[in-house]
Structure 1
């Protein structure tokens, strides 16, 4: 039933209706609400530069709710603990295998928790590093070296890790990068315009991948 709900809504997206994206709310104590200006700024940038028609109103959805099937793209972030209940796991698995897309952006401190929770969703699928020649790095903005570095955490290189189903990327985990910080209002982190532009361009590539596949 959940898959039918998702595909019914997908039909309307393909007719050119305004699309919507959402922020994931999860349990465990982590600050799922971090970076409050990031998604609205990304939506504005995408609508202005890659001709999307995304609603400026960004929803908040609980990962265990059927409401996630109303959104083709869900973004998840935070600095701390993440816990998916059995219902959350089943709901996310159904969503992702039905055509949904989840972008998880480690805002620093989430990594040790989120990898275990991803494994609950896909116990037989390993996170794989996405090569720099993957289409998510090719357009509409070219990133020949793969995921850009936005904020420094522990001198690690930025990594784009993914779960693929039938060769389609359905879950993207960005680590040692902090894309969401780069999408925030300039005064939040005082990043140079060049850094913010790089983050927004990479975000536009992710959105472009989701809506065209």
Structure 2
């Protein structure tokens, strides 16, 4: 039964990606963490991408549960939050099938998420680790150039921003951004009162992630 379920997911994923080439969704998860944080972030990022890098993304991002077959309708998933994350075995299998079939997940730590998500990702890929991406990785050099790698948007603990990835067959399938908080920079200007140049850096890096995910 598990093989049949996995096969169905892979076929459904392929057909969905053909039909929905440039749509994104916010990932809902269990555990009590605020998956709904940064409510204005994705709509602003989408608007920026549609205006500046020629994407044609639905301006209203959808919400999908990690264990639902609906995730296969979206080639790009975004996940954020501050706290606890929990994936059931079904959630983990569904997310793994999605990622190895061509999907892409960007996880943006909104401060405090890191210890929980790293533990849960071991359920998704028990044999894979999060590896830091070098500053010359393609994701920092697509639509816009970031020669020093991931930009720092919010201070939090004052640590340097880091971008980690998980690869499947040499394809980057998951990006985890830490100590940057891109999502805060994507929010409406009056939410965090970030300077215009800081918001611009966040949006440009978000556009890079989007462009890289859609083209690789």
Aligning the two structures, in what range does the TM-score lie when normalised by the shorter sequence?
over 0.9
| d(CA) in 1 for partners of 2:83, 2:32 | 7
* 8 A Cα contact 2:20 2:73, kept in partner: no
Q: Is the 8 A contact 1:20 1:57 kept in 2?
A: no
**TM-score relative to the length of structure 1:** 0.96
1:2 equivalenced with 2:9 (yes/no)? yes
Partner of residue 86, structure 2: 83
Unaligned runs of 5+ in 2: 1-7
CA distance in 2, matches of 1:11, 1:156: 40
Give, in whole Å, the separation in 1 of the partners of 2:66 and 2:94: 7
Q: Is the 8 A contact 1:38 1:185 kept in 2?
A: yes
Structure 1 unpaired stretches of 5+: none
SS in structure 2 of the partner of residue 144 of structure 1: coil
1:36-51 alignment, distance < 5 Å: 36-51=39-54
Deviations 1:64-120 (A, max 9, x none): 000000000000000100000111000000000000001000000111111000111
Partner of 1:187: 190
Match of 2:149 among 136, 146, 152: 146
Q: Provide the rounded CA distance (Å) in 2 between the counterparts of 1:140 and 1:105.
A: 20
Q: Secondary structure at the match of 1:34?
A: coil
The answer on 1:111 being equivalent to 2:118 is no
Cα displacement (A) at 1:13: 4.3
Distance 1:26 1:66 in 2: 14
Match of 1:170 in 2: 173
In the alignment, structure 1 residue 120 sits paired with structure 2 residue 123: yes
Q: Deviations over 1:116-169 (max 9, x none)?
A: 001111111110001111110011100000000000111111000000111110
Q: How does 1:28-107 map to 2 (within 5 A)?
A: 28-107=31-110
CA RMSD in angstroms comes to: 0.8
Structure 1 partner of 2:211: 208
For the residue of structure 2 that corresponds to 1:119, the secondary structure is: helix
C-alpha distance in structure 1 between counterparts of 2:75 and 2:213, whole Å: 7
